[in-house]
Structure 1
Amino acid sequence: MEYTWRWFGPNDPVSLAEIRQTGATGIVTALHEIDNASAWPEAAIHERKAAIEAEGLTWSVVESVPVTEAIRTAGPGCDADIEAYATTLLRLGAAGIKTVCYNFMPVADWTRTDLMRPLPNGGAALAFDYIACVAFDLFILQRPEAAGDYTAAERAAAATYIETLDDAARQRLIDNITAGLPGANAGYDLTGFRSAVAAYDHIGHAELRENLRYFLARVVPAAEQAGVHLAIHPDDPPQPLFGLPRIVSNADDARWILEAVDSPANGLTFCTGSYGAAAENDLAAMAAAFAHRIHFVHLRSVACDRAEPRSFYETEHLGGDVDVAGVMSQLLNAEEHRHSSLPMRADHGHHLLGDAGRPTRAGYPLYGRLKGLSELRGLAMGLRYSS
């Protein structure tokens, strides 16, 4: 297993020199400064790769080459954006970068309602409060069809919740939900978010699946030519939000994606925190079933609220409700039959110790991820010795 670390480029408060001290040998990054609809320039790819290698590290995974909303909605500009995407894959492959993580989540990337939930030990964690999300949809976003998507009890709880927010807390909720893709220069303002959601008025689960199939049918051949493995990230959280469909939430979804374009180049990012936020997902069984098409792994855990299981917070990497050890065991067993090491990163992390003094992105502190990576490396070593 190759231990990797997500780095957001030269402006990341966590430097490559520091990453090298964490035990990670691979870097997971992207050219975040390039417009989502543009092909990545060859020179920029090689420049970033050289900077990483100059620090004794390897650019192991691209996370991510973003999929545009035009592609997801099959709207104007879709084919041009897909062509640019395929060109980027060819250029990455030519540069020796062979794994590309991406997602197909409409409008919102991973969504949290609280980016700094206090923990008993003095640290802070990411959290998702389902009722807070309902309140945002009903009373802030004011989506016309929202009321019909929730029960009377959920609407009442959301109404009570929104009354507890002062202006600062209300704005914080808006900012957290509309933040956009990690590493992107900007998310949405409320008006832009509302317009982006409205673009999906006539796109349901089946239509979004077909749009993904259309995308894959055109980019997988480029990935095959380039020797690149595509690895789709699951929905986070794995449930519909704001009336938007989600199509990468469970084993059935993963199986459909792999069969839609049946190629080794079309694979999965196995994120235990994302899949693990749905109690019905058996992650160890999923890891075993899909091991041959898992190209990248995010390991972390969550604890779901017993009263409202759609709410959760991110726990220590070996805590919570996710069977991280069971997943790791399955992946280590499968790795014996691979031709190369499986890249894995400790996903997210608590804000701990000196993290408060660094302007890191939410979920991507130094010390919290260092702790998680150390725990996961120890788990892997223990499993190897016990087998």
Structure 2
Amino acid sequence: MIPTMRWFGPSDPVSLFAIRQAGCTGVVTALHQISVGEVWPVADIQARQQLVEADNSEYSPLHWLVVESLPVHEDIKKGRPAREQYIDNYKTSLRNLAACGIRTVCYNFMPVLDWSRTNLSYEMPDGSRALRFVWQDFAVFDLCILRRPSAEADYEPEVAAAARAQFDAMSEAERQHLTNTVLLGLPGSEEDFELAGFQGLLDEYAQIDADTLRQNLHYFIQQVGPVAAEVGVNLCIHPDDPPYPLLGLPRVVSTEADLTALMAAYDHPSNGITYCTGSLGVRQDNDLPGIVRRLGHRIHFVHLRATKREENPRNFHEADHLAGDVDMYAVVRELVLQEQRRQRKGFGQPQLPMRPDHGHQMLDDLHKKTYPGYSAIGRLRGLAELRGLELGIRRSLEPDTPAATAATTDTPAAHAAARLLA
């Protein structure tokens, strides 16, 4: 796989040099300064490319390989008449990206909120800090801070009662901190949601159920997919995070069945998947290695991270990359086999761009301000572990290579056998 890391642009505290020194050859970035729904001009795309590649003549090269994300406007998700203009803008952006040589575009279809967490600095046993989601904490926000109408029906009675007791015991500063965490904006964005107008954003989805949202998603891909196919761009949808409804909002990219239905809605290789083990792995009913076996030909981009479900299965935290509930060995093995299949049959990208998704805040980064989940050292550790795992798997699948043969014959048992044969 091609090692990459996400970079949020010139304001990112993690430099391109840090990404290069971590062993990456690809950069995953986006034009966060452009408002959602507006066209990405060629000049702006080229300016970002020039930033990424500025030191390539002197150092090991970096290239902008993946867009994450080209956001989908809310009017498209809601199926409003204005969606036609925003879809046209999206098509133009795809053409402009293709003209600049960028061929992989990640997007998501989560309504209002992007990914959601209730704790951005959960302390792990080793003292590092991770992202965490706690269902009861989210209920505190929903029931007691936002006070969303009809929210009570979304929570188990014991969770609702515990949330109200927890709220009563919290200080005003603790309540504000939880609010700020839940309403955090898109990664890379400087704008968070405001509590005062947030309920109004939710109300706009009052008549949109899961079936309607799914229809709007399928309509979107049916409109933009042919343009992506025409210009040679691979679109890849990111799964919901967490993969279940929140705040009364439907989510329709949470299971293998959701992904299969979307792939059928526009049945072309340009309509593909961002395979995120963290998002999909939160649900126990998602068979992660099986998804690669069955849908691997539509995977265009890979996010590898592990989550750990807690006593309440809706609670989870982000574990070390090789720990948690994700069988990372089985997942990476299937991805390696998928790449080998592509190389043999000559279809698709022979190498998948992969990034170590998120990472624990640790070591010197504990004293720095970074985007939640995107500190340098935690991702460096994750990438090193994942690359080592991949190398081991590749060697185990190629036993006749000289290196593997030497490794298996240069052992005391092998030497003893050789003496007996002599």
TM-score (norm 2): 0.90
Q: Deviations over 1:86-123 (max 9, x none)?
A: 11001101111000010000111010000001112111
Matches of residues 287-298 of structure 1 in structure 2 within 5 Å? Answer: 287-298=292-303
User: Is 1:80 aligned to residue 90 of structure 2?
Assistant: no
Give the whole-Å Cα distance in 1 for the aligned partners of 2:362 and 2:340.
35
Report the CA distance between 1:191 and its aligned residue.
2.1
Q: State the alpha-carbon separation in 2 of the partners of residues 190 and 43 from structure 1.
A: 36
Alignment size in residue pairs: 386
Partner of 1:193: 198
Task: Tell me which stretches of 4 or more aligned residues in structure 1 moved more than 4 Å.
Answer: none
Question: Aligned-pair distance for 1:148?
Answer: 1.6
| SS of the residue 2:122 aligns to | strand
1:267 to 272, 283, 289: 272
Quick one: which amino acid aligns to residue 346 of structure 1? P
| Per-residue deviation, 1:282 | 1.1
1:337 maps to 2:347? no
- What secondary structure sits across from 1:337 in the alignment? helix
Q: Is the 8 A contact 1:45 1:92 kept in 2?
A: yes
| 2:152 is equivalent to residue 147 of structure 1 | yes
Does the 8 Å contact 2:234/2:271 carry over to 1?
yes
**Deviations along 1:160-215, whole A, 9 cap, x unmatched?**
22223211111111111111211123121012321111111000100000110111
Displacement of 1:39:
0.4
Aligned residue number for residue 38 of structure 1: 38
1:12-27 equivalence runs, <5 A: 12-27=12-27
Q: 1:113-262 to 2 correspondence within 5 Å?
A: 113-262=118-267
8 Å contact from structure 2 (residues 340, 350) kept in 1? no
Corresponding residue SS for 2:28: strand
Whether contact under 8 Å (1:107, 1:193) holds in the other structure is no
Q: Which residue of 1 aligns with 2:381?
A: 371
**Deviations along 1:15-45, whole A, 9 cap, x unmatched?**
1111100011100000110111210011010
Question: Is residue 270–residue 297 contact of structure 1 (8 Å, CA) maintained in 2?
Answer: yes
CA distance in structure 2 between the aligned counterparts of 1:148 and 1:173, rounded to whole angstroms? 22
Whole-Å separation in 2 of the counterparts to 1:357 and 1:81: 41
Q: Distance in 1 between matches of 2:324 and 2:35?
A: 37
The Cα of 1:75 is off from its aligned counterpart by 2.2
- Does 2:321 align with 1:317? yes
Could you tell me whether the CA contact under 8 Å between 1:351 and 1:367 is conserved in 2?
yes
Within 2, Cα distance between the matches of 1:295 and 1:256? 17
Give yes or no for contact 2:72–2:108 (8 Å, CA) kept in 1.
yes
Q: Secondary structure at the match of 1:248?
A: coil
The higher radius of gyration belongs to 2
2:403 corresponds in structure 1 to none
Other-structure match for 2:346: none
Indicate the residue corresponding to 2:11 in structure 1.
Answer: 11
CA distance in 2, matches of 1:289, 1:164: 49
* Greater relative contact order, per chain length (Cα 8 Å cut-off, separation 6+): 1
Counterpart residue number, 2:63 = 58
Among 366, 376, 380, the residue aligned to 2:390: 380
Q: Secondary structure at the match of 1:376?
A: helix
C-alpha separation in 1, matches of 2:252 and 2:332: 25
Displacement of 1:74 in angstroms is 1.3
Unaligned runs of 5+ in 1: none
1:222-277 CA-to-partner distances (Å, cap 9, x unmatched) read 11111000000000000100000010111110101101111111000000000001
Contact 1:345–1:373 (CA under 8 A) maintained in structure 2: yes
2:381 maps to amino acid: K
* Alpha-carbon distance in 2 for matches of 1:200, 1:300: 31
RMSD: 1.0
Structure 2 residue runs without a partner (length 5+): 56-60, 343-348, 398-422
Check the 8 A contact 1:33/1:185 in 2, yes or no. no
**Aligned with 1:325: secondary structure?**
helix
Distance (whole Å) between structure 2 residues aligned to residue 80 and residue 110 of structure 1: 26
Identity %: 48
TM norm structure 1: 0.98
- The offset of 1:76, in angstroms, is 4.7
Alpha-carbon distance between aligned partners in 1 of 2:179 and 2:195, rounded to the nearest angstrom: 7
Deviates more, 1:344-353 or 1:78-87: 78-87
